[in-house]
Structure formats: C-alpha cells, structure tokens
Amino acid sequence: MLKPDIAAELRTILGVEGVIDKHEQLRTYESDCLTNYRVVPALVVLPTSTEQVQAVVRLCHREHIPFVPRGSGTGLSGGALPSEGSVVIGTARMREILDVDLPNQRAVVQPGVINLWVTQRVAPEGYYYAPDPSSQQVCSIGGNIAENSGGAHCLKYGFTVNHVLGMKLVLADGSLVEIGGAALDTPGYDLPGIVVGSEGTLGIATEITLRLMRKPEAVQTLLAAFATCDEAGEAVSRIIAAGIVPAAAEIMDRLAIEAAEAAVHAGYPDAQALLLVELDGPRTEVVSQLERVSALCREAGATELRLATTDEERALMWKGRKSAFAAVGRISPNYIVQDGVIPRTALPEILREIAEMSAAAGLRVANVFHAGDGNLHPLVLYPDKNDYEKAEHLAGDILKTCVAHGGSITGEHGVGWDKKDYMPVMFETADLATHQLVRCALDPANLCNPGKVYPTPRLCGEVPGPYRPHPVELAGLGERF
Ligand SMILES: Cc1cc2nc3c(=O)[nH]c(=O)nc-3n(C[C@H](O)[C@H](O)[C@H](O)COP(=O)(O)OP(=O)(O)OC[C@H]3O[C@@H](n4cnc5c(N)ncnc54)[C@H](O)[C@@H]3O)c2cc1C
C-alpha cells in the first residue's frame, strides 16, 4: 500500500485524468499478454510529456517506490508485469510523432506511438519503418525498444536495435539523458545499444529517433508447400547458401496452418509445411532472385508454388502468418507462445526433438518460425487448464534444447519475468554479475522494473533499497562504476 498522499501528489503533477487508483481500473494493468502472471499495481500513471515522466520518477525515487514502464501491454514475457506495490508508468498518452525528416530518413516519436503508425505516416512519400512485429498494429515503439523487437522482415533489415539512432531516457532517479543522436553513428560507447533490449530496467525512453527506410522498388511474395517441415527448412538453407537474403522467410507447420486457415481463410494449400518467402529490392534483381528461389524450393521438394500477383493476395498470404499466434486460440483455449533461437541449420533436428517431446508429454505443439533467423515460436497447446504445469515444463525443455544446440532462450519476446530462471542455462554466474553492473550503475536502488530479466539478487539486489556490494566487489575482483 502506498501512502495516501502519494496519489494526491501525482494528481498535482499529472492532473486527475493522469492517475488511476480504482481497483477495477487497476486490474486492466495487472498483466501483459502473458496472462498467467498477474499483480495489481498500487497505482497507474499516464504522463503526457518527458517532464511529467521525470516528475513521477523523481517522486518514486524519493519514496523508494518501484515503478514499471508500460507501452501497449502486448509483451509475451511478463516485462510489463507490475511488481508488488509498484507504480505503473504507462505511455498511452505519449502518442505523438514529433518530427519527420525524410531527406535524412529519420523520425522522432514519443514512446506510446504504435509501430504501424510510423509507416502509415511516411508511406505516401515512399518510406517505411522496417521492424515489423506481428503485433505492429497495437504495440508501441517504447515497448519495441525495450524488447528489441523483431518481425518477419528483420532477416534482411535487422532488429529494432538497427533502427534506433538515439533517445531521451529518464533514469531511475528522474534525471534525463540523451543518448545516441540523429546520425547513424556517434562516438563513444553504443549507449542506445545497451538500452535497446534492456526490457525497461534501465530507464524510460520518452523520445526516440528512428531510422526510416526507402520502400523497395519491387516486392514479390512466394508461398511454397511441402510434405515435411524438414524440406521447408532445407529450402531456406539452400536459398541462403545461394547468396540470397530474402526480406522474409517464414515457416508454419500443419497445426499452425490449420489454425491460421480457420481464423483468416487465407486459402493456403493443403500441406504439412508452408514456406513464405518475400524478396524485395531493385526490380531486375527481384525477378532473377524469384526464378532462383522457385527452383531451389522445387529442388528441396516443394509440391506447390504460388506467387502473389496482387497486393491483396500478398496481404492475405501475410495475414495468415501474422495472425497465427492468436489463431491458435481456435484449436486450443490455452497455449504457451514460446520463443527460442537455434542455428538455422539445426532446424530439422530441433523440430524432430520437439515432436518427440510433444508426444512424450501428450501435448500438441504448433510451430511458427522466422526460419531465416532460426527464431522458433513453438506454441504449446494445453486445452485442459490443469495441464498448465506440464505445458510449462515442455515449453522449458524446448528452450533448453535450443540452448544445447548453440541457440538462445529468446529471439524477440524478451526474458521479462517469465524466463529469468532460464538465464543461468545460458550464462555463468560471473556473466550475470557483469550484466548487473550495468543495471546497478544506472539504477542502484533497483526501482526501475525490479525483478525482471535476472534470476537472483546479484549486485544491488532485486528488492528496492540501498545498494549492497556484491561478493565479487568485496573480494576486490570487480568494481562498481
Ligand atoms: C499476437 C502477438 C504477436 C507478437 N508478435 C511479435 C513479433 O513478431 N515480434 C516481436 O518481437 N514481438 C512480438 N510480440 C510481442 C510484443 O508485441 C512485443 O514485445 C512488443 O514490442 C511489446 O510492445 P508493447 O508496447 O506492448 O510493450 P509492453 O508489453 O507494454 O512492455 C514491454 C516491455 O517494454 C518496457 N517498456 C515499455 N515502454 C517503455 C519505455 N517507453 N521505456 C522503457 N521501457 C519500456 C516494459 O517495461 C516491458 O518490459 C507479439 C505479441 C503478440 C500479443
């Protein structure tokens, strides 16, 4: 419980409409899209400017109140899950595109701006914002930054980190820093690179400078049907080995196809696996690559190839893929969306292992993946709610398999609250302590989104409070910045 005068003080900063303290309204913020974890926050505030964010954070710092940044709440790892007694700082009223500078290909936006709005704003002039998470119609740029979000087109164009030039960041004591800049590179440490992907634990981004891209001259989208996922994976390996980097290469297995088809009626072919390949660039290059990619798909065993001939057909092909997570709700009311990474060449082996684990657990797994990046999204279905723990166990075993093959526990959805206990599967204790040195340098009182990403207290502790030196420091083996 917060002192009653805290809400009153926040109202003087934000106005009545900027503070939410009624229990039934606070419940809207009790989770992100990982709804298995829920904590009702003490308060929610909705600032409209950098200055207001600073004033709120200063107050939290003064009173030792933990705070949790929140964008649209579409996160899938519990990143925006409130901590006990916390103030959630939502960016839903910070939704302005502040500046668009097309000659220099950049835009400055507030963090609550929805990803797709950036492209919609600049598309008439022939530009777009490249990172395209499937949630792009609703997720915010602030959330994208915190999660270093990816999307189907990140294979060729890179993740969010490759499209953020700089930002204003409110640190955990309420001070404001500007990092990066308007140019493609700035001298010194890559500070935006540290903040992008830090999952809201290093501060709150309040103004972000994004890189815009020129729309390619030509785009072609090809759908290839296969009798097995192995063959579809083989086609992707052959395409990349041929020196072609498609804008996107996405695979869906039988179960995911069925779900997507039921949801959006994309008219997909009847197949065990579908590969969606998008090629873009100068027209002549795309034409010749399309010929080569079609041949490589046939060599890998494609039973049918379909080329989108109109924008509508292309949009429908993508709609099925982009709706796949939600569509799975049609075949199972409960499911876990997993996110792991593997070396692309390990795909057939991992899929076989997932099938074996799925059979042993008696739970079905639908597979949707960014095949070009080796980013898997197994969807573990558990129609019976009582099977939740079994499903969690299976989802965890899939992650461990990814790591055992030289991969990672997350490709784009982040660690958040959900996967922090898997961090030691990838990192040694000393590695985790080193990571935490960054966090403690910026937030020694551990107030900014505490309890996320890292499994146990390392340096400044996982609970708000004064700084506690780590044994590594006490032994003189490491020092605090
Ligand atoms: C159907 C569906 C499909 C999805 N597809 C994809 C996909 O293809 N690729 C992908 O990468 N993700 C995907 N996601 C996950 C999610 O949409 C992304 O992680 C997205 O970036 C989260 O944005 P958000 O605004 O909803 O952030 P939130 O969920 O509100 O927050 C996410 C994290 O960002 C932090 N945060 C929010 N705003 C700020 C800020 N201004 N400053 C600092 N930290 C901040 C929060 O504390 C939290 O840790 C999908 C989710 C769903 C539900």
C-alpha 139 – ligand 1 centre gap (Å): 6
Distance between first and last Cα of the chain? 33
C-alpha 272 – ligand 1 centre gap (Å): 31
State the Cα–Cα distance between residues 213 and 233, nearest whole angstrom. 29
CB atoms inside a 10 Å sphere around CB 66: 23
Decide whether any atom of ligand 1 lies within 6 Å of the 80 Cβ. yes
Question: Which of 1-10, 383-392, 467-476 has the weakest average pLDDT?
Answer: 467-476
Q: How confident is the model at residue 348 (pLDDT cuts 50, 70, 90)?
A: confident
Residues of the chain with pLDDT > 90: what percent?
Answer: 84
pLDDT at 478: 75
Q: How confident is the model at residue 456 (pLDDT cuts 50, 70, 90)?
A: low
C-alpha 34 – ligand 1 centre gap (Å): 11
Decide whether any atom of ligand 1 lies within 6 Å of the 147 Cβ. yes
- Model pTM? 0.92
Decide whether any atom of ligand 1 lies within 6 Å of the 143 Cβ. yes
pLDDT at 380: 97
**43-99 confidence digits (pLDDT tens):** 999 999 999 999 999 999 999 999 999 999 999 999 999 999 999 999 999 999 999
Q: Is it the case that residue 233 has pLDDT exceeding 70?
A: yes
Atom of ligand 1 nearest to the CA of 94: 41
The DSSP 8-state label assigned to residue 82 in this structure reads P
Give mean pLDDT, residues 434-438.
Answer: 91
- The answer to whether 198 and 206 are in contact (CB under 8 A) is no
> Which tops the pLDDT comparison, 221 or 429?
221
- The answer to whether 71 and 112 are in contact (CB under 8 A) is yes
C-alpha 138 – ligand 1 centre gap (Å): 9
Structure tokens at 51: 């200055």
Q: Is it the case that residue 218 has pLDDT exceeding 80?
A: yes
Residue nearest to atom 11 of ligand 1 (CA): 149
- The answer to whether 305 and 294 are in contact (CB under 8 A) is yes
Decide whether any atom of ligand 1 lies within 6 Å of the 146 Cβ. yes
In angstroms and rounded to an integer, the radius of gyration of the C-alpha atoms of the chain is: 23
Decide whether any atom of ligand 1 lies within 6 Å of the 152 Cβ. no
pLDDT at 64: 96
